Chain A
Amino acid sequence: MNLFNVIEEIEKVDPEVVDRMSPRRAAIKNITSFGSKVALAAMPMALATMFKRAYGADTPVAVNDVLNFALKLEYLESYFYNQGAAQAGLIPSNNSGYFAEIQSDENQHVAFLKSVLGSAAVDMPAFDLTAGGAFPTVLSNYDTFLAVSNVFEDTGVRAYKGQAPNLLGNKVVLGAALAIHAVEARHASVVRQIRASRGVDISAWITGSASVANDTGIGAAVDGNYKDENNVMQGGVDVTKLPSATGSSTAYNIAVEAFDEPLDMATVLTLVGPFFK
């Protein structure tokens, strides 16, 4: 199961999407990565210099691998939000400020990672948010857009978290990765809040039970993105057995909510793979 399939699932609920999508497809193709260019131009060079200084001339390959992995995810997210913002009428005006902020952050992440990687940075891949037009609701139906955004952000949080141990002790790069990680979590929180305001039964944090790890209401299509989010074993401790504010043990959902879970690089790449052409 992967994120790609979520669009198919949502399309089942909105059968008119193909009609609504078609006229817009040409417009989408003409959009360039305007946002990231602007952000790159505004990017202070001091940070890149600092990174280079931290390593001397050569950044370790393992660290570059982590940074390029992050860059690929940020390319995808920035492309997604740039495209979303470019669709007239997709994002309601009273929500546009939220997505302007998120779009700006993601483009800044791209610019930041590119500046750090320098010539080692991978190029922006070609994306297919609509899967060749087969699943086009992501850019024509706001609730679909929000659902995909929700999953992208939660998955981004998991991806950065999963890479933290590979950057152990690295003040500069781990610090930056954790700083982006926290911003992705802020995004995830607010996108979930927006979905809740539109009637979805969802909280700012990921909840669950012993049998449910995917709390998004999107369906089994994104189960993979939430696999093991309902873990309650932390460092060998079953945290449901720890005291709570109201008793000698902790409810399962609280144990799930209080800890977000990581994902490894291979799993994340498999999950987002269908969005890469």
Chain B
Amino acid sequence: MKTEEQQGLGTANMARRSFLRYAGIGAASVGLLATAACHKDHSVRLNTGVDIGSGDFGILNYAYALEQLEAAFYTQVVKTPYTGISEKEKSIMTSIRDHEVLHREFFKAALSSNAIISLTPDFSSIDFSSRTSVLGAAKAFEDLGVSAYDGAGYLITNPAYLTIAGKIVSVEARHAALIRELISPGSFAGSDVVDSMGLNQSNEIKVVLPIANTYLKTKVSASNYGYIA
């Protein structure tokens, strides 16, 4: 790990290179997205949105898309706090924003040239002046994010990527439990998200993306995973 640390001490570009080296990805993998985008059946429709691609980069781009959505949401929440927000809640929203922005920036750096474009959100269904509306959306995003990572983990083939996804999903679950407590004390592991065997809900990509897309102007598809927006 020492070598990697030393490599990571340089510029962002340096950091990106060392990530790819660490992950064992060579030049052969570059262009996966291009391959997906050229898929003959879907190329026309993809002009209006973006496809996550396939393989590990596909799953990382899926995570990147969800983190972009969350980061944009909390950025707006902090910029225009809802009416009557307490100091404690303001602090929580700022911290979560910072975590989500870092998740987004991490995937962007890690994926480098394989990253999907920056997505444009559509938060027209959220009333940012309303605590109920904002916290309801936050709960939806956090629970959805946890279920998405849990549901896609098995598709990751590189153990280093799987570990990193694990490092992030537990933080999302911490967020989810916190937001839920702000809305309704005692709901941190409610029966709507944790089943009768004590297992957190998990969702497939084709279930998650249609929901995420309702908050996105740039529609995200996963043609290799059974979903085209």
Contacts and interface: CB of A to CB of B under 8 A. Distances in A.
A259 B167 contact: yes
Nearest to A183: B200
Interface residues of A, number: 67
Given A245-B98, A245-B101, A254-B102, A234 B171 contact: no
A179 B150 contact: yes
B106 A239 contact: yes
B75 A245 contact: yes
A236 B106 CA distance: 11
Contacts of B207: none
Nearest to A74: B198
B229 interface: no
Given A174-B154, A181-B169, A233-B1, A188 B174 contact: yes
B178 to A, nearest CB: 4
A109 B159 CA distance: 25
Sort chain B's interface into a size bin.
35 or more
B173 A186 contact: yes
A215 interface: no
Interface stretch (A85-93, A124-132, A160-168): A160-168
A38 B11 CA distance: 56
Contacts of B7: 236
A260 B167 contact: yes
A112 B195 CA distance: 12
A233 B98 contact: no
B5 interface: yes
Contact of A178 (B157, B196, B202): B202
A134 interface: no
A14 interface: no
Most buried by A among B5, B12, B188: B188
B119 interface: no
A63 to B, nearest CB: 13
Given A111-B197, A186-B174, A189-B188, A235 B181 contact: no
A84 to B, nearest CB: 17
9 contacts: A108-B197, A183-B194, A183-B198, A189-B176, A233-B8, A237-B19, A239-B102, A242-B15, A257-B98
Q: Which 8 A-B pairs have the closest CB atoms?
A: A108-B198, A185-B173, A165-B159, A189-B177, A182-B200, A236-B18, A179-B199, A236-B22
Interface of B: 1, 4-5, 7-9, 11-12, 15-16, 18-19, 21-23, 71, 75, 78, 95, 97-99, 101-103, 105-106, 109-110, 146, 149-151, 153-154, 156-157, 159-164, 166-171, 173-178, 181, 186, 188-189, 194, 196-202
